[in-house]
Amino acid sequence: MARRSVSIPVEPLKEPFENGLTVVRSAPELFETLLRAGHAHRHDFYFFALHECGASTFEVDFVSFEIEGKAAHYVSPQQVHRLLNLDGVELFTLAIAEENISPEYLTLLEDLPPSRPVRLTDADFELLRTSASFCLTLHQQAKDLHSFHTLQHAANAFIGLVLEQYMSAQPAAMSRFDQVYKAFRRILEKNFRKLKRPADYAESLHLSVPYLNECVRAATGFPVSDHIRNRVILEAKRLLHHSDRSVKLIAGELGYDDPAYFSRLFARATGMTAQTFRAKNLD
């Protein structure tokens, strides 16, 4: 059994990528290393991949995804993930720090639901591959600040094309309910550790609690309180599964001064105690 880390590992962008942007095409040695290690981790950067051929399986927040053939994929810095399998994979990857992504695209990325791979038509794949190849060429030739800025713009163009693929699967026009839900989800992601009441989020959005609940329920089928609880429970699962922290420490990190109350909350939400969940999900 592999020993867990005290906390969830965060894989940073390392030298020579100190500018916060790197482009790689099919680096099998890197992926084989990750596959052998099998450890779950987060990034401190945004990760985009263009899957050209072959098959791979990976896990993101306890959900396994299989990619085969032409597909695009995006992983945010918050998501805990690990590589499970590779078979003849060729792909292009872009790793980019937040400060190098255009503010407009950052907002759109924050609004995306938990990401899963997007299958591509031949035409969409060719467009993305052309953009990816251009980024790779610029990355290989980058030698000064001016050329880096050119690469940065090209990388954002690629991100924009990936975003188009994700957004094309969503309704063309959002209802007021959907708009409110997205705004709520954005605030929830940043504040779930300290804000636990629907009233806290309603106040942040300058809405009444009944109206916020109406919008969120209409958009998702569930009330605000369920979304708050589920986000807390997801983070608790991440920490229980991927770290050695005690239940008491995890409770405190998630904003609960009373570990017993947190344990009851976890058990009600999952049907098992935190200790049982950890034991059932040993690496």
Is the full-model pTM beyond 0.85? no
Is it the case that residue 238 has pLDDT exceeding 90? no
Q: Is the pLDDT of residue 40 over 70?
A: no
| Domain that includes residue 65, residue range | 10-168
Is 272 inside a domain boundary? Answer: yes
Mean pLDDT of the residues in the chain = 83
Residue 47 phi/psi, 5-degree rounding, is -125, 125
Is there a single domain that holds both residue 154 and residue 238?
A: no
Residue 21 and residue 126 in one domain:
yes
Residue 5 within any structural domain of the chain: no
Same domain, 268 and 205: yes
Q: 10 Å Cβ neighbour count for 121? A: 10
Q: What is the reported pLDDT for 82?
A: 74
Does 81 lie in the same domain as 15? yes
Predicted pLDDT of residue 172: 59
- Which stretch of DSSP H or E encloses residue 211? helix 209-220
Q: What is the pLDDT of residue 1?
A: 43
Residue 109, Cβ neighbours under 10 Å: how many?
Answer: 19
Query: Bridge-partner residues for 42, per DSSP?
Result: 10
| Tens-place pLDDT, residues 89-102 | 888 989 898 888 99
Tell whether the model's pLDDT for residue 206 goes beyond 90: yes
Terminal Cα distance for the chain, rounded? 6
Burial class (CB in 10 A: 0-12, 13-18, 19+), 141: exposed
Same domain, 29 and 116: yes
- Find the DSSP H helices in 169-197: 176-191
The pLDDT tens digits for 144-171 are 777 888 999 999 999 999 999 988 866 6
Task: Indicate which CATH number applies to the domain containing 103.
Answer: 2.60.120.280
Clarify whether residues 102 and 196 are in a common domain: no
